[in-house]
Amino acid sequence: MPGRSAKKPLLLSAHMDTVTPCDRIRPIVKGARIVSDGTTILGSDDKAAIAMFLEAIRCADETGMEHGPIEILLTCAEEVGLRGMKGFDTSLLTSRYAFVFDSDGAIGRIILQAPFHSTITLSVAGKAAHAGMEPEKGINAITVLAEIITKLPGGRIDHETTANIGTITGGRATNIVAEEATCVMEIRSLDLRKLRRQESIVRAVARETASQKGAKCSLSRVMEYYGYTISPDEPIVSIATGALKKIGLRPRFEVSGGGSDTNILNRAGIRAINCSAGMRKVHTTSEYILIRDLINGARFALALLNQMS
């Protein structure tokens, strides 16, 4: 949207996709909150943000409020690895500041730090044999992979780092000593050096264990997204806190263990922060949003448009 003044452009961003179950969502107003009928997610993650943006734009238009150029970027496939934002050509954007509404909790929550995230696929190659007639001639890839996994640190490594085995596949039949087995894991850390250290541990443990058992292993690693850290003193934070205070809300700075489109924007050179869109209990059928947060989110978005200098 073209601006009505010489103010700098501003980007508002959210994602359109949701997690499952999401067929035939029926939003219900229940007292002070909006919920689903309990058979699906509500989808306030992240459709609430889109509603806030639309309302803010409508109010700005109706009141003739002065604002700079407005860019709104709504992505798809955020819930499956930020694929929408990864595939978007950010050179099309003119804004240098982006406000991504994709965090939970009351309006006013601002994520100033989010992690680096890598995915590792670990495959073990054993040796097939008849499980009943000559199992001694086989090397069971599943048991080798299981031993590797038990040796790997998992869960909360430290206050900045986590690791998780997500999926395991392997074998072809019960009467065959499993010839192959694969697991996919993720590592996250606010510190890139710590993430790389954990990756090195995975490689070393996998190779040494496989070698001891007479098996072979292969690993492939994908950097899903890079982390970001934003100082509370940066201009984008001042813009956000100024807008919140203008509507009577208190800013709260927090660190997140999850990624969002914000990570991709920062990597592309656009300073971005992740702001709360009010949703609660996301990714569950108990998801809900308070009506006051839906309203406050629209007020916050409107204030951001007015806050740009």
Catalytic residues, by residue number, are: 17, 78
> Omega into 232 within 30° of 0, i.e. cis?
no
* Coil, helix or strand at residue 218: strand
* Coil, helix or strand at residue 122: strand
To which residue do tokens 């989808």 refer? 43
Cα–Cα nearest to 221, from 79, 122, 116: 122
Contact call for residues 300 and 244 (beta carbons, < 8 A): yes
Q: DSSP labels for 72-106?
A: EEEES--TTTSHHHHTS-GGG---SEEEEEEE-SS
CA–CA separation, 199 and 197 (whole Å): 5
> Omega into 23 within 30° of 0, i.e. cis?
no
To which residue do tokens 């969002």 refer? 260
Residue 224's CB: how many other CB atoms inside 10 A?
16
